[in-house]
Amino acid sequence: MKSLLIYNKQLFKYFIYWIAIFWLAKIMFLLFTLDLSKHLSFGEIVGIFGYGLIMDISTACYLLVVPGLLVVFRTIIPVRFLNRLMWFYTFLLLFISILLIIIDLGLYPYWGTRVNVTIFNYINDTVSLKSSLAFFDILLGLFVIGSFITGFIFIYRMIFKSGLFPEGNIKWTAALVQLFLVASLIFPMRGGLDTSPLNLSSVAFSSKLYVNQAATNFLWNFAKSIDTRDRLSNPCIYMTNEESVRIFDEYVKNDTIVTRPQLIKLDPEKRPNVILIILESFSNKAIAPLGGLQDITPNLNALHNKSTTFSNFYASGNRSDRGISALLGGYPSLLRTSIMVYPEKAQNLTLLPEYFNRKNYHTSFYYGGDINFYNLKTFVLQAEFGKLTTKSDFPAELGRMSKWGVPDGFVFERALEDLKSEQEPFMKTIYTISSHPPYDVPYSKIKGNSNDEKYLNSVAYTDSCLGVFIDEFRKSALWENTLLIVTSDHGSLVPGPTNVTEPESYRIPLIWTGGVLDSLQKIETICQQSDLGTTLIHQLGWETDSAKFSRDFFSSNPHAFYMLNSGWGYVTPEGYYYFDQEIGDFVSNPANDGKPLDPYFPKAFMQVLHDDFVNR
């Protein structure tokens, strides 16, 4: 075992070697973007290295896998051969890393993004390369790359004079221990033991995109972009680009507001507060007044009768990131992904809280789970919420009560407590988690262990927590000047019998209540998540920024889109239609028999949407 300890001491030095390279790359990035970094505070610079360390450690651990496994084979392979192999392995990694560092430094001022796989899109474009690169630039680049590689190889040989692996054999029992140690690298590689694996949100700590970009590890970012490359192409090419733009623009031009009912009372002397509650995985199928099961959500059932309810409100997709992108960003889901997981593409969106910040509202965001999940942290930081309350702000024992974090009851309790000292006007967003699989909630109303029963029990739990929150808040003086909106991030397949392509799997609650509500209405207009922000801002009497894919609920051509990986749905007053990407055509539905469909606008919409995403 003594030999194994010596081998792992060498591996730890190799780990530090790469951490030093990553930190040097960060320093170079800050120096080469001095026009931006000179405006950073000392705390932001420290944060770039501190918050980014988890990604640097993860990347270094990935690089340790090969040498770690080579130790296992030391029992049968000569040490001289292993050291030669490690020299070649290190040289190859250094070449790739230094090349990416230089490209990153050269392109960031023009692209505004860290180096990623899209650089390969330009390799074959000889015209652009010739016009962009002078012969001197190429020579200089090769000199810099060669110099850095030579320097780091020299340092490698200084640290490991006789090679990474020392002389000395290890026994097969030690080899098994080493295999276990290599397997344990999975934990730092994924960023820890929390529910969400390492992602860009894991290192985000600022509302400034540049600061969060500087904290990322260039090598990790590049590798991740390779993994997601297929998502960065348009899967919806149905016609020429010119034709899709013409049809889309013509439709938008004719899609005017005929009659817009004023749903809330506006007082010129006092701006209304807004609380947006986003329920995890809530479907209308569980809410009796909206066509769902009886007795599952008694509080939402009762609230329906005291509120303005939108009975034909549709989720944009079937995942949380897609729903949050639509609700807070006004950007629809995409077939393969969402804009939320691409911070550099989302940076030009005007997110819902930003409108409230402009009016000097106090904004806050509550979430009982791991906020790094699906890049949520990056998204809400970009939205510039004034205050974030997440799993880490609760006692550790509460965060361990369920797989996904703090149960909803405690999150609502914290939000309610904060309201006692909240300054008006305020805009709060509360995002629940307890109705997320595996539905492990501290509650037992629906008995049974089937998936449907556990889901319904978790929904009943969140409904009970919501009921307590609303009942207590209704007693507050703040109620009379507050608009409270209850909706969901996406629907659910359970309870059945709907399948993933049917609109009932995407129809979710949208309930407006509170003291500023002007009247109780049941609105049957077809509407969708990406239009909520625009509609709300219009109801408040404010102007919205240009948003290509977000419109008012009360536009003249009501419709809703919902997306999944294999296709997309289109809901209109005439019926619903599902386009199967594999077949390449609309699939007939019994509900649509005899009703004509103009296929050009929905196809043009999907093509223009995905073109917009790809080209951002």
Where in the sequence is the domain holding 202, given as residue range(s)? 2-227
CA distances from 476 to 191, 363, 480 (A): 42, 19, 8
Q: Quick check: 371 and 388 in contact, CB under 8 A?
A: yes
Say which DSSP state 384 is in.
Answer: T
pLDDT in tens, 551-574: 999 999 999 999 987 889 999 998
More confident residue, 608 or 138: 608
Residue 453 has pLDDT above 70, yes or no: yes
Q: Give me the count of residues in the chain.
A: 616
Same domain, 205 and 290: no
In a domain, 338, yes or no: yes
Mean pLDDT score, 527-548: 96
Torsion (CA) 207, 209, 213, 215 in degrees, nearest 10: -20
Q: Quick check: 117 and 222 in contact, CB under 8 A?
A: yes
pLDDT in tens, 221-253: 888 877 766 667 899 999 999 999 999 999 999
Mean pLDDT score, 339-361: 93
At which of 227, 250, 280 does a domain end? 227
Same domain, 139 and 20: yes
More confident residue, 591 or 354: 354
pLDDT at 587: 79
Q: How confident is the model at residue 126 (pLDDT cuts 50, 70, 90)?
A: very low
In a domain, 495, yes or no: yes
Q: What percent of the chain has pLDDT over 70?
A: 94
| 495 prior amide bond cis, ω within 30 | yes
Number of domains in the chain: 2
Residue 133 has pLDDT above 60, yes or no: no
Same domain, 277 and 193: no
Mean pLDDT score, 434-461: 93
0.85 exceeded by the pTM?
no
Same domain, 205 and 314: no
107 Cβ neighbours under 8 A, 6+ residues apart:
113, 115, 119
Lowest-pLDDT choice from 2-6, 272-276, 465-469:
2-6
Same domain, 293 and 158: no
pLDDT at 132: 43
CATH number at residue 474: 3.40.720.10
In a domain, 576, yes or no: no
Mean pLDDT score, 572-601: 77
Q: What percent of the chain has pLDDT over 90?
A: 62
pLDDT in tens, 313-323: 999 999 999 99
Lowest-pLDDT choice from 45-54, 180-189, 234-243, 428-437:
180-189
Residue 136 has pLDDT above 80, yes or no: no
CA distance 522 to 306: 10
In a domain, 84, yes or no: yes
Same domain, 343 and 207: no
Q: Quick check: 19 and 49 in contact, CB under 8 A?
A: no
pLDDT in tens, 286-323: 999 999 999 999 999 999 989 999 999 999 999 999 99
Same domain, 280 and 213: no
pLDDT at 13: 94
Q: Quick check: 60 and 97 in contact, CB under 8 A?
A: no
Q: How confident is the model at residue 4 (pLDDT cuts 50, 70, 90)?
A: confident
E-only strand ranges, 49-189: none
Same domain, 303 and 450: yes
CA distance 347 to 334: 17
Q: What is the mean pLDDT of the chain?
A: 89
CA distance 28 to 38: 13
Q: And the tokens for 132?
A: 């962009």
Same domain, 500 and 545: yes
In a domain, 193, yes or no: yes
Most confident of the ranges 107-116, 296-305, 334-343: 296-305
pLDDT at 2: 57
CA distance 296 to 467: 13
In a domain, 610, yes or no: no
In a domain, 378, yes or no: yes
Q: Quick check: 198 and 25 in contact, CB under 8 A?
A: no
pLDDT in tens, 494-512: 888 788 888 999 999 999 9
Q: And the tokens for 367?
A: 């979430």
Residue 87 has pLDDT above 60, yes or no: yes
Mean pLDDT score, 139-155: 85
CA distance 154 to 151: 5
Mean pLDDT score, 10-24: 94
Mean pLDDT score, 374-389: 91
DSSP line for 391-410: GGGS-HHHHTSBTTBS-HHH
In a domain, 74, yes or no: yes
SS (H, E, C) 309-374: EECCEECCCCCHHHHHHHHHHCCCCCCCCCHHHCHHHHCCCCCHHHHHHHCCCEEEEEECCCCCHH
Same domain, 100 and 41: yes
Residue 127 has pLDDT above 50, yes or no: no
Same domain, 379 and 477: yes
pLDDT in tens, 409-446: 999 999 999 999 999 999 999 999 999 988 999 999 99
Say which DSSP state 554 is in.
Answer: T
Residue 612 has pLDDT above 90, yes or no: yes
At which of 505, 537, 555 does a domain end? 555
Same domain, 278 and 419: yes
At which of 535, 555, 575 does a domain end? 555
